[in-house]
Structure 1
Amino acid sequence: MLLNIAAYHFVRIDDPDDLAARLRERAEAADLRGTVLVAEEGVNLFLAGAEAAIDGYLATLRADPRFAGLAAKASYSRSQPFARLKVKRKGEIVTFRREDSAPLQRRAPAVTPERLAQWLDRGHDDAGRRLVLLDTRNREEVGYGGFAGALTLPIDNFVDLPEALAPHRESLADATVVSFCTGGIRCEKAALWLRDDGMDNLLQLEGGILGYFERVGGAHYEGRCFVFDERVALDPQLQPLVDPAPDPAA
């Protein structure tokens, strides 16, 4: 079995090119595949490999004080879900194209998966306010599954979310709105920016859908969660839609 991780960490990086080169070298030495994005605002990782190799890679990364708090979401597969290793220097680790949206000094308030599940059971938050879940993913991802009754938007790109949400904002004013995405990274930007834009009733789901699956399971979720590799999508038990057996000749 191979260990698959998804991880991101927002932190100011003054040496992104040098860091990208070092992360590539370490990943190649550990025979890891996947995608590593590095920008001045942080890192975003999707990697798969032998469990010991992944653990060693994360330990080395966390030894850098900038990444001591990096958290990774884990799942397993019988075969390698990535064709190759890609390490890229980017302008953003998730493209949003909005000024001051990176949570480098502060982040939007978050709700834990356990608390969200309680709210969904009750149909309202702790203060009795109605609850609306906001899906920040694109329409292809939404097609694989999502939280029952969530507000979805007809977008193909994350950068289009603020405009697509604008017609709904007045009707959401009396609700507690919880934004969610695959692993949490998009909501880090969207929730912070939207709150600064006046939507102070917006929270983000800690750890995204994958974090919810890990800690709660599939309660109130319908279908699977699209992921960005050859497994295609994971169910609430973190089992893949596509998981071909390893090639015995490999």
Structure 2
Amino acid sequence: MTATAAAARPTVVLTDIEGTTSAISFVKDTLFPFARAALEDFLRRRGGEPAVAEQLAEVRRLQPGREVAEVLRGWMDEDAKVTPLKALQGMIWQEGYAAGRLQAHFYPDVVPALRSWSRSGVELCVYSSGSVEAQRLLFGHSEAGDLTPLFHGFFDTRVGAKRESESYRRIAAGLHRPAGEILFLSDVAEELDAAREAGMQCCQLVRAEDGTRPSGRHAEASSFPEVAARFGLPGAEMRNLT
């Protein structure tokens, strides 16, 4: 399946992270274990800070009567898309990035394409279940340097769940762009279903490294240069270099 001829060239690219710009293994095998190992010490040292205390209060509201660290560990085991967990993980990762103990991973084809799209005037945005703060840390601490200046906006579950179409309508409204001008990239077909229902153009990233299975319901690409070729974006010529 390819983009239809009638579809306008996207003016905004909205991208997922895990399995799309970055290997699932980086998140599962590096970021998540780092946050889990550091959790107890982080809560002991910083639990009284207003920003941390606010998230802990939300944990207690959602799980009254339970020990906070126990709840957080349970959510980590479930990979729960819960806002206070994601916010606290982001704070822990911030310490790791600042100390040089973490450095973000991106597929080799991603950064050149992002730079090419940004130079051409395409607005770049991120929508991930990870907090906005965690997203900024990831793109701010890559082997290629700080990539955050390339981006126009960051969105997390505060706009809604990624498998609900209303979330994508809120993003389009927040960007003041017609949904049809926005191209959403993700490896998860159900997220793409929701974005398409909201009127966005969609493409499923099928990364062989992550074992993503094509859904057959959306345009597909194995790399960002292939996305560029399918949707009329610059950088298609890089397909032969990746």
TM-score, L = length of structure 2: 0.29
